[in-house]
Amino acid sequence: MTQNWPLWEVFVRSRRGLSHTHAGSLHAPDAEMALRNARDLYTRRSEGVSIWVVPSAEITASSPDERDPFFAPAADKPYRHPTFYDIPEGVSHL
Amino acid sequence: MTGTDIAVPAAAALALGDDALVLSHRLGEWAGHAPVLEEEVALANIALDLLGQARVLLSMIGDEDELAFLREERSFRNVQLVEQPNGDFAHTIARQLYFSLYQHELYAQLAAGDGPFAGLAAKAVKETAYHRDHAEQWTLRLGDGTEESRRRMRAGLDALWRYTGELFQPVEGLDGVDWTALEDRWTAALGAVLGRAGLSLPEGPRTGAWAAGAGRQGLHTEPFGRMLAEMQHLHRSHPGATW
């Protein structure tokens, strides 16, 4: 069953949302069925307007072992951060 | 609905409502028994859609609970197709395919008109489009799957074929429906799906000799009585109770 019904990850963009958010996972024999199952499981109350399904096997995740080199920036090197610019007046969205 | 000035034809509301109610009950029997969890949810969703349709239709002409739980078998007006037992998964899908194609085409026609069922049909046609898609998807997979799944899909289609003729007998009160055109579209759509699935239209009579008129006249097949006994048991044991 795990061979014929692989795992899929489901991403749903909500009615007013700007981006797809990971909603959960499910089993399905192929992408078409995965979409339909996702519709049943994750958008039944019209939570979403767009669904992406991706085979879980296609997703490469960062490893917890690499967390430090990946995600811990050198906080003592302020020149790495773009904080030394004067923002011109009138620029409201930056 | 479209207003109280349009009289609801009781016979038609009963026929459409009973179709939805009875098929909903049959699909409910799958709960806990479907091949996979996701399919369990899909069948339950379809059952819930149908139950919603049944509640609206039966409420148009009386108390929905009384109509569902206190009528005898001979007073039900559903087609015999929907009362057929679930059988295996392919059998259930064959029943879904036949019926959802029919219901979708019929509701599309009713929604386009201005009769008393136009409002209900406009909502229901979105649901039936999904039911139809679900049945078509599974027909393709089972028909074009393994030898075993193909054999079972064909067996389900063959076994239920003789209940499909009744779908296109005119229903009293649905006067605007062109039943011949409905049947033509149904046959064309069915043929297209079965063709893609590597299957062909079943052969043989589409009505049993003994089944002339059949469900729409209150004449039902043997399994229906047992289904009703289970469905109505609690209400009949405690008449008048509220829940």
| Cβ contact, residue pair A37, B133, below 8 Å | no
- Tell me which chain B residue has its CA closest to the CA of residue A28: B38
Average pLDDT over every residue of B21-48 = 95
Mean pLDDT (chain B, rounded): 92
pLDDT for the residue B208: 65
Looking at residue B2, what is its pLDDT?
44
Residues of chain A contacting B141 with CB distance shorter than 8 Å? 29, 33
Q: What is the pLDDT of residue A90?
A: 83
Nearest to B137 among A1, A27, A32 (CB): A32
Q: Give the confidence band of B96 by pLDDT, cuts at 50, 70, 90.
A: very high
Q: What is the residue-averaged pLDDT of chain A?
A: 84
Given a cut of 50, is residue B3 above it in pLDDT? no
Confidence band, pLDDT 50/70/90 cuts, at residue B209: low
Nearest residue on chain A to B142, judged by CA atoms?
A29
Residue B46 has pLDDT above 80, yes or no: yes
Of B36, B45, B137, the CB nearest to A40: B45
pLDDT at A56: 95
CB within 8 Å: A36 and B137: yes
| pLDDT tens sequence across B162-189 | 999 999 999 989 988 999 999 999 999 9
Span A31-75, pLDDT tens digits: 999 999 999 888 876 766 899 999 999 999 988 877 777 777 777
Cβ <8 Å between B38 and A28: yes
pTM above 0.90, yes or no: no
Please give the pLDDT value at position B176: 85
Quote the pLDDT of residue B1: 44
How many Å apart are CA B120 and CA B2, to the nearest integer? 9
A and B: number of Cβ contacts within 8 A = 26
Higher pLDDT, B207 or A56: A56
Residue B93 token pair: 């899908």
pLDDT for position B210: 58
pLDDT at A47: 61
Residue B212 has pLDDT above 70, yes or no: no
| Least confident window among A69-78, A84-93, B224-233 | A69-78
Residues comprising chain A, all counted: 94
